[in-house]
Amino acid sequence: MALRLIIGNKNYSSWSLRPWLAMKVAGIAFEETLLPLDAADFKAKLATLGGAGKVPLLIDGEIRVWESLAILEYLADKFPAAGLWPREAAARAHARAVACEMHSGFSSLRNLLPMNIHRPVIPRPLDAGAAADVARIQSIWTESRDRFGASGPFLYGAFGAADAMYAPVVSRLHTYAVEVGTVARTYMAAMMGLPAWAEWRDAARRETSVLQHDEVDWPEVKRE
């Protein structure tokens, strides 16, 4: 039985992007089911599937895995050849630590700069909290690249789970034209150059749903 990944709108659902991108890049086959976040029966449909009533949700037979990081860990166990975590112990420990930091932190950045792929690239001023988040993220990326990234363009050389966790941040920094340093710009270019990235982006731009709380220019809805 094929894996099934339940996701929300590709334009807005940053949490859904993470396992979807990881599975695409790793070549892990799965069936995709998109449930619009603004659908009246969104919660009801998710309730029939199990989990915590949120997306993303991975279904593997009788197994249900929710939360993006837990899904990535499950996939790493089930498909060890995919190399979602680095092989070397120090790099693997570092990757897990920064992935957990992303999962639980950076709320100022998330709130000020919601993921919105439809939106044209237009700067939005950062408040103090978001600026601190951006500085910390750049520090993480620089340290990861300097210590462990010599073999490729991603945080630990090859694309992996940590990159998937930071994918929504890449999208946010790009959409809102946040000024970053050379290491971050180069890393972002590698991420956005992935064929899977283009596939998600193009599908997001075809969506027509509008979620007011994720439109920072409301009541205007800017579209490329």
Query: Cβ atoms within 10 A of the Cβ of 140, count?
Result: 20
Q: Is 130 exposed, middle or buried (0-12, 13-18, 19+ CB in 10 A)?
A: buried
Please say whether the dihedral angle defined by the alpha carbons of residues 29, 173, 120 and 118, taken in this order, is positive or negative: positive
In words, the CATH class of domain 3-82 is alpha beta
pTM to 2 decimal places: 0.96
Confidence bin at 223 (pLDDT 50/70/90): very high
* C-alpha distance from residue 29 to each of 20, 197, 209 (Å): 10, 16, 27
Give the residue with greater pLDDT, 214 vs 51: 214
Q: Work out the mean pLDDT of the chain and round it to a whole number.
A: 97
The residue extents of the domains of the chain are: 3-82, 89-203
- What pLDDT, in 10s, does the model give residues 122-138? 999 999 999 999 999 99
- Which residue(s) pair with 32 in the sheet? 5
Q: What is the pLDDT of residue 1?
A: 66
State whether residue 64 is helix, strand or coil.
Answer: strand
- 30-34 β-sheet, strand order: 30-34, 3-7, 57-60, 63-66
Q: What is the pLDDT of residue 59?
A: 97
Q: What is the pLDDT of residue 53?
A: 86
Q: What is the CATH number of domain 89-203?
A: 1.20.1050.10
User: Alpha carbon 18 to chain centroid distance?
Assistant: 4
Q: What is the pLDDT of residue 212?
A: 96
Residue 33 contacts by C-beta under 8 Å, 6 or more apart in sequence? 4, 5, 6, 7
Residue in 68, 106, 117 with CA at minimum distance from that of residue 215: 117
Q: Any idea what DSSP says for residue 216?
A: T
Angular region, 187: left φ>0, alpha ψ -120 to 50, beta rest? alpha
